[in-house]
Amino acid sequence: MTSKFRSRATLAVVAASFTLTMSACSMEDPAPAGTAGSSGTGGVGVDLPRADSDFWNAYAGYMPAKAQENGVELTGTTNSQNDVQKLISNIDSLVTQGAKSIVMAPQDTGAIGPKLDELAAKKIPVVTVDTRPDSGNVYMVVRADNRAYGTKACEFLGEKLGGTGKVIEFQGSLSSINGRDRSEAFKECMTTKFPKITVFEEPTEWDGGKAQAALETRLSTDPDIKGVYMQAGGVFLDPTLQVLKQRGLLVPASDPKHIFIVSNDGIPQELDAIRKGEIDATVSQPADTYAGIGLYWAKQAMAGVTPKEGATDHGSNVIKLPNGYEDQLPAPLVTAANVDDAALWGNNKS
Of 79 and 96, which CB lies nearer to other proteins in the complex structure?
Answer: 79
Determine which residue in the list 136, 158, 234, 292 makes contact with other proteins, applying CB under 8 A: 234
Does residue 107 contact residue 119 with C-beta atoms inside 8 Å?
Answer: no
Burial 48-67 (b: 16+ CB within 10 A, else e): bbbeebbbbbbbbebbeebb
**Residue in 326, 332, 1, 288 with CA at minimum distance from that of residue 177:** 326
Determine which residue in the list 88, 140, 241, 334 makes contact with other proteins, applying CB under 8 A: 241
Determine which residue in the list 70, 107, 183, 300 makes contact with other proteins, applying CB under 8 A: 183
Q: How far is the CB of 176 from other proteins (least distance, A)?
A: 13
Does residue 239 contact residue 209 with C-beta atoms inside 8 Å?
Answer: yes
Q: How far apart are CA 116 and CA 11, in angstroms?
A: 45
Determine which residue in the list 95, 104, 237, 302 makes contact with other proteins, applying CB under 8 A: 237
Span interacting with other proteins, options 44-52, 93-101, 294-302, 340-348, rule CB under 8 A: 44-52
Give me the helices (H) in 2-145, please: 2-28, 30-38, 54-70, 84-96, 113-121
Residues 242/204/57/99 CA torsion (nearest 10 deg) = 180
Does residue 84 contact residue 136 with C-beta atoms inside 8 Å?
Answer: no
Does residue 23 contact residue 16 with C-beta atoms inside 8 Å?
Answer: no
Does residue 204 contact residue 211 with C-beta atoms inside 8 Å?
Answer: yes
Phi first, then psi: what are they for 2, rounded to 5°? -65, -40
Site for other proteins in 108-147 (CB under 8 A): none
Q: Within its chain, how far is the Cα of 145 from the centroid? A: 12
Span interacting with other proteins, options 198-206, 249-257, 289-297, 318-326, rule CB under 8 A: 198-206
Q: How far is the CB of 79 from other proteins (least distance, A)?
A: 9
Of 189 and 215, which CB lies nearer to other proteins in the complex structure?
Answer: 215
**Residue in 332, 347, 350 with CA at minimum distance from that of residue 271:** 347
Of 214 and 339, which CB lies nearer to other proteins in the complex structure?
Answer: 214
Does residue 112 contact residue 65 with C-beta atoms inside 8 Å?
Answer: no
235 binds other proteins (CB under 8 A): yes
Span interacting with other proteins, options 21-29, 67-75, 97-105, 212-220, rule CB under 8 A: 212-220
Site string for other proteins, 245-284 (x = CB under 8 A): xx----------------------x---------------
Q: How far apart are CA 230 and CA 247, in angstroms?
A: 19
Site for other proteins in 153-172 (CB under 8 A): 171
Span interacting with other proteins, options 113-121, 201-209, 307-315, 333-341, rule CB under 8 A: 201-209
Q: How far apart are CA 101 and CA 123, in angstroms?
A: 9
Span interacting with other proteins, options 30-38, 138-146, 237-245, 252-260, rule CB under 8 A: 237-245
Site string for other proteins, 278-317 (x = CB under 8 A): ----------------------------------------
Span interacting with other proteins, options 86-94, 129-137, 215-223, 336-344, rule CB under 8 A: 215-223
Footprint of other proteins (CB under 8 A): 7, 11, 50-54, 56-57, 60, 171, 174, 183, 200-203, 208-209, 212-214, 216-218, 220-221, 234-235, 237-239, 241-242, 245-246, 269
